[in-house]
Structure 1
Amino acid sequence: MNVENKNHWIFIGYEAVSSLKEWLFLLIILFFKVKWYYIVLACVIILIYSIIKWYNIKFYISDEMLVYKQGVLSRKKQEIPLDKISTVDMEQNLINRIFDVCNLKVDSGAVGDGQTEVKITVKMDFAKKFREELLKSYKSSEEIKEDKSLKESYIKASMKDLAIYGITKNKLGWLVGLFAILSQINEFLSEDFLNSIDNKAESFVNGIGDIAKNSTSIAFIVISVILVILFLYIIVSVVSILIEIIKYYNFTLYESSNKLNIEYGLITKKKYSLPIEKIQALKLKQNFLGQFLGLYNMEGIVIGYGDEDDKKAIIFPVANEKLKNHIINTLLPEFNFEGHFNNPPKRAIFKFIVKRNIISLILISPAVYFIPTIPLKLILIGMCILSQILLGYRNYKNASIGLNRDVIVMSSGAVVKTTHLIKQKTVQSIGTKQNPLQRFRNVCNYKVDVCTNYFGEVVEVKHLECELIKEMEENLRV
């Protein structure tokens, strides 16, 4: 591997498209302000620049080092020791699969801004060999395939799991986006068609009005609105299920040579490895429905892992309580937790509720001002207060800190509950914060700084007993 290698020529196309995106605004201005051939000239310059950049990128392995050279005007040379490389991700999108090429993303354990240190695009056969050479201190792929016991330890996400994940994901943003699309779609429809829709809608509304006038209740209108919302929710859920199945298709998790290996994807195939000893913490996320169904999205917080596309190190997209415990017990035993949990005292419930209500009332005040009738204003204010009381109470129930000598478990959140399982040895600092009202109730906020790829990830849990800091500091000294 001492021979200098170059990216596949398709890299030129990727680089040109990336440059066009960066200069798109300028190109649009040129299109309206100058003659068309200036646009062509700009595109030619971008293409030439991409070719020069492709030509100047060279990489090879020499003396247990990955050497990567690049630069157009100024030259840059990186040397990464092979034993410092933490992950080598393989990614193959649809275009790559057509040309049988693959993107390799190489990360070391260096703490930085989270971007991939080296990214190369090469033929698939070469990518597999080059990846094995970069990770030669671990088992080769052939050895992994021959390990029968390893095959039995594969953990896969079924279609049913991915469908449940798609159903339980938050749909509020999707519904807003759907309404936004529907509001703009009239630009692409003929005037006659729109008039026809307006006439039918007017007839429908008039019919509902007649029913409401002749009825002792408005149950029919309420049921109609509920059915429309339900119909839209079903559409959005189906789309969400399809997206999650395409994204996480054939999701497979297994361990080999003290590394977690993850593979998934239907259109864009991804494959990456996470050194278990470099996983600083686990992040377990539960959306609102997931909290009641006992479903978790599992992520790893890993030094040296992250890129410009997706900064998450997904360990498993959706796992129930039993599967979550199985993954931790068998693959990540260092994160096993046996200890006591500290919850906010009852006197702190007030703190979880009041602030939420004040902020939400401020946010809806413009809407309340423009509502014409007082009953509707009172209904909106009442719904807002009730929802925030329920969410505040939910946050109170979810907040906790669990401690033992090896692991800190920190949970918080109302709509989305996030639980961090943090190795004691990776904690950089522990701090508390207390405002005057918290001093009155003898509670405070706890912040734990974990060493990560982004110069520290701060995890916070609010309104716990102040005496807890003593036990946390004692564990940190051990």
Structure 2
Amino acid sequence: MEQISSKFSQPSRQSRVAIAIILIKFIRFTIRTFWPIALSIFIGRKSGSSFQDIIGYVALGLAAFNLIGSVLTYFRFYFHIEDGAFVIDKGVLKRSKTNIPFERIQTINLQQNIVHQIFGVVSLEIDTAGAKKSEMTIDALKKEDAEALRQYILEEKDQLSEVAVTPDSTEQAVQESFEEDVILKLDIGDLIKIGVSQNHLRSMAILFAFVFSTLNEVTDSVSDMVEEQLSGYQEAILSNGWVVFAGSVVIVGIISFIYSLVNTVLKNYDLKLTTRKGGLRVIRGLLNKEEISINKSKVQNISWSDNPLRRAFKMYTIQIEQASSAQADQLKSKIKIPGSYMQQVKQILEIVFPKEFIAEGEKHKVSILLKYRIFVFSGVLPALVATSVAFYHLRNNGLWFLVWIPIIWLTTSLYYKKRSFELNDEMLTNNRGTFGNYHEIFQLYKVQAVSIKQSWYQRRKNLASVVFHTAAGSLRIPFIPLQQAEELENFVLYKVETDRRKWM
């Protein structure tokens, strides 16, 4: 460790590969920002518009300016270790120096995209509690240097946190903190199961959004060209409209399925979840490999869920939410781990939370009025309005919209059956779901605020909804008796005020 300390005690630059990484970031940003302008220029040149040329020159000038700035960023970026702190000195026109003491560091994450993997380097991100994004990021370091640097910082942090310990016990604690046990490892078969059981409707929505956003950028010239090409097939398309529509849905469905499967494999390839003293570590990814550290004291809540397909494989998706600001990077604040079995779910809960309190607590149901209210406003009223309008235009065929009423009654009944919460002296578990199951659990002493809310309808029925605010977001329990809501609020606030444990 002394070798690492001496190596990084003097200001150092990143690996030279960082220049390529910075340039790739610049190119990606330029493409995302200027592709509509490029399309407009291409179309404008066909119509002979000189204004499009002006826009093109301005865009090229801005691109060149940003390109030079990106390269200079590498040469004006230095980092080093100084007096138990990690220091970064950076800036081209405006210099800034950031100093973070080791004890303030929460997690150190490593990432590798395809360029990183080719050159054997990693991106290192240092997070502190409550930061909106990674407080420090080094774009490219040799992998062995990054891993040694991370280990050195975490060891120093552990030693600073130890109080009145002997050198032998400190050495043993440090050694134990880096011993890892594998909890979960996904193989190709698991990834295929996860991909098959994904939410393919969401993938379809992403594809439709991409298509429509692209079409929105297309001008009348392109529209006229497409219309000209299809004019000869207009009659055939109109006469077989339902066939074309059904075929389009099937094609989009197949593409969505393939997209979900490929995206799952690329993102979660060789996923490995390990446990170590102080938390967990997730390693995953093929083209973009990421290594995420989870500090268990920073964890706010853990949820696990399934859907009908995933339940057939007896799999769950676990989500671990850490303390963060509202605008924090999703990578560090919400970590999803798909393909977990109940055994792994229990292991993770026992690692993060006190084992003696994980058992089921007293179960409470919400008011049945919630079921009736959802049924009326999501089922009866929309069905009656749609049926009235459709009956005016379609006559008896419009009555088919009434089928919506029993469908909503079924789904609402399933939802109400699962809507409950469990409470004990340490934990609160929130349960919900319709066709799938969703459970989330958090420790009471980490709650930051509790609020009781009532609509005009709830006031009439002496009901209320309780909202628990944590550093990772909010959790809501709706439609419980007002007296129970007030007792729950007082109980949780009492636990928060009397508990002396620190988690930030």
Provide the C-alpha distance between the structure 1 equivalents of 2:392 and 2:206, rounded to a whole number of angstroms.
Answer: 25
The DSSP-based 3-state class of the residue aligned with 1:116 is: coil
The DSSP-based 3-state class of the residue aligned with 2:152 is: helix
Choose the corresponding residue for 2:152, options 116, 133, 136.
Answer: 133
Provide the C-alpha distance between the structure 2 equivalents of 1:121 and 1:313, rounded to a whole number of angstroms.
Answer: 22
Q: CA deviation at 1:158?
A: 3.3
Change (3 A) 1:333 1:289: farther
Provide the C-alpha distance between the structure 2 equivalents of 1:338 and 1:9, rounded to a whole number of angstroms.
Answer: 53
- For the 8 Å contact 1:430–1:447, the answer to whether it is kept is yes
Q: How does 1:89-128 map to 2 (within 5 A)?
A: 89-109=109-129, 111-113=130-132, 115-122=133-140, 123-128=142-147
Q: CA deviation at 1:418?
A: 3.9
Q: Deviations over 1:349-368 (max 9, x none)?
A: 21232232378559x85995
Aligned to 1:464: 480
Choose the corresponding residue for 2:30, options 20, 30, 33.
Answer: 20
Provide the C-alpha distance between the structure 2 equivalents of 1:74 and 1:372, rounded to a whole number of angstroms.
Answer: 67
Q: CA deviation at 1:449?
A: 0.8
- For the 8 Å contact 2:267–2:286, the answer to whether it is kept is yes
TM-score, structure 2 as length reference: 0.75
User: Sequence identity, in percent?
Assistant: 20
Q: CA deviation at 1:266?
A: 1.3
RMSD (Å) for aligned C-alpha atoms: 4.2
- For the 8 Å contact 1:255–1:331, the answer to whether it is kept is no
Q: Deviations over 1:427-452 (max 9, x none)?
A: 11222222232234333212111123
- Aligned partner of 2:374: which letter? F
Q: Deviations over 1:28-60 (max 9, x none)?
A: 478814286555433321111212333322221
Q: Please state if 1:166 is matched with 2:186.
A: no
- For the 8 Å contact 1:156–1:251, the answer to whether it is kept is yes
Q: Deviations over 1:41-94 (max 9, x none)?
A: 333211112123333222211111111223333322221111211111111011
Provide the C-alpha distance between the structure 2 equivalents of 1:398 and 1:422, rounded to a whole number of angstroms.
Answer: 19
Q: CA deviation at 1:378?
A: 2.1
Q: CA deviation at 1:161?
A: 2.9
- Aligned partner of 1:129: which letter? A
Q: Please state if 1:408 is matched with 2:428.
A: yes
Listed as ranges, the gaps of 5+ residues in structure 2 are 1-7, 42-50, 159-170, 216-221, 496-504
Choose the corresponding residue for 2:373, options 351, 368, 381.
Answer: 351
Question: More deviation in 399-408 or 346-355?
Answer: 346-355
Aligned to 2:161: none
The DSSP-based 3-state class of the residue aligned with 1:243 is: helix
Aligned to 1:323: 344
- Aligned partner of 2:335: which letter? I
Provide the C-alpha distance between the structure 1 equivalents of 2:227 and 2:37, rounded to a whole number of angstroms.
Answer: 33
Greater relative contact order (CA < 8 Å, ≥ 6 in sequence) = 1
Listed as ranges, the gaps of 5+ residues in structure 1 are 209-220
- Aligned partner of 1:328: which letter? L
Choose the corresponding residue for 1:474, options 491, 494, 498.
Answer: 491
- For the 8 Å contact 2:387–2:400, the answer to whether it is kept is no
- Aligned partner of 1:173: which letter? R
Provide the C-alpha distance between the structure 1 equivalents of 2:206 and 2:388, rounded to a whole number of angstroms.
Answer: 21
- For the 8 Å contact 2:124–2:138, the answer to whether it is kept is yes
The DSSP-based 3-state class of the residue aligned with 1:273 is: strand
Q: How does 1:160-199 map to 2 (within 5 A)?
A: 160-176=189-205
Q: How does 1:205-216 map to 2 (within 5 A)?
A: none
Question: More deviation in 90-99 or 64-73?
Answer: 64-73
Provide the C-alpha distance between the structure 1 equivalents of 2:463 and 2:55, rounded to a whole number of angstroms.
Answer: 68
Q: How does 1:23-422 map to 2 (within 5 A)?
A: 24=34, 28=38, 32-34=52-54, 39-109=59-129, 111-113=130-132, 115-122=133-140, 123-137=142-156, 147=179, 150-151=180-181, 153-176=182-205, 233=253, 236-287=256-307, 289-290=309-310, 295-304=315-324, 308=329, 310=331, 312-314=333-335, 316-329=337-350, 332-333=353-354, 336-357=358-379, 360=382, 365=386, 368=389, 372-380=393-401, 382-414=402-434, 418-422=438-442
TM-score, structure 1 as length reference: 0.79
Provide the C-alpha distance between the structure 2 equivalents of 1:415 and 1:262, rounded to a whole number of angstroms.
Answer: 29
Change (3 A) 1:336 1:160: farther
Change (3 A) 1:135 1:156: same
Change (3 A) 1:76 1:423: same
Change (3 A) 1:354 1:312: farther
Equivalences, count: 450
Q: CA deviation at 1:466?
A: 2.8
Aligned to 1:216: none
Change (3 A) 1:378 1:6: farther
Change (3 A) 1:245 1:366: farther
- For the 8 Å contact 1:337–1:407, the answer to whether it is kept is no
The DSSP-based 3-state class of the residue aligned with 2:155 is: coil
